[in-house]
Amino acid sequence: MGFFSSLKGQLGRDTGRLISNKVYGNRHATKYQRVDNSKNIAKNIKLEQKYELELLEKEKNNEIDFLKKKEEIKNIQEKKAFVDQNLKKIIGMKIPNSKDGIIENLHSLSVEITSNKWKDSDDEINKISNIYTDALFKKYEQHLVTLKSKFPNAIEIQYFDKQSKTYQKQAFFQKYKLAIIAIPFIIFIVWGITSGYFERSDKETHQRNNELIDKIFK
């Protein structure tokens, strides 16, 4: 009787507590419910804080990307202004009639080309910069052709001719170096696929691994 009376009393108290919680809400709720609500509130606060931090981080990254883009546009505009201004000078450069004048200009153009070497064409700023260097080299060649035609016996021709060939190689390799580096890998991949090399390599590797495992466990 004592056990059943105690159980009955506990059920009565639990039922009463449930009804009280439903009727009066949190104000008269038991301490157990208040603990659960506190946990839920703390959990929600953490979730809200995490969400707000994610939003702030996203806004910060967007702002950084915007500033980078703005800086890139500024650099492109400055490079365009530099190239446009100096292109006019190069285009307007007259080829002297004297041998010494031509040679002097060739030396000046050579220094300018060396100071503004060709760069990889994949970058937008580099493309703009290469326009200026191309113009320098074209003017260099015009002077060299004039030197050869007017003064064919000039001993300086050999030197400037050699420099011209060097610049041609630099222009090609610097502009397209990424493509040149990638071509051998592309050829190797195509050859490997068509010849079945990769498939054979996989089989050989698998076979060697099996042989090694057999040796270990024998």
Give residue-wise pLDDT tens across range 49-62.
777 788 878 877 88
How far CA 134 is from CA of 18, 62, 114, 124, 193, in Å, comes to 87, 37, 12, 15, 40
CA-to-CA distance for 210 and 2, rounded, in angstroms? 74
Query: Looking only at Cα atoms, what is the longest distance across the chain?
Result: 132
CA-to-CA distance for 102 and 145, rounded, in angstroms? 10
What pLDDT, on the 0 to 100 scale, is given for residue 211?
A: 65
Instruction: Give the pair of three-digit tokens for residue 65.
Output: 């990307």
CA-to-CA distance for 142 and 91, rounded, in angstroms? 11
Q: What is the mean pLDDT of residues 102-131?
A: 90
Amino acid, single-letter form, for residue 94: K
Give the pLDDT band (50/70/90) at residue 3: very low
Kindly tell me if the per-residue pLDDT of 207 is higher than 80: no
How many beta carbons lie within 10 A of that of residue 59, not counting itself?
A: 10
Give the pLDDT band (50/70/90) at residue 7: very low
What pLDDT, on the 0 to 100 scale, is given for residue 67?
A: 80
CA-CA-CA-CA torsion for 157, 161, 163, 166, nearest 10 degrees?
Answer: -170
pTM of the predicted model as reported, rounded to 2 decimal places: 0.54
Higher pLDDT, 165 or 35: 165
Indicate left, alpha or beta for 196 from its phi (over 0: left) and psi (-120 to 50: alpha). Answer: left
Higher pLDDT, 190 or 51: 51
Q: What is the mean pLDDT of the chain?
A: 75
Structural contact between residues 124 and 148, judged by C-beta atoms closer than 8 angstroms: no
Q: Looking at residue 176, what DSSP letter applies?
A: S
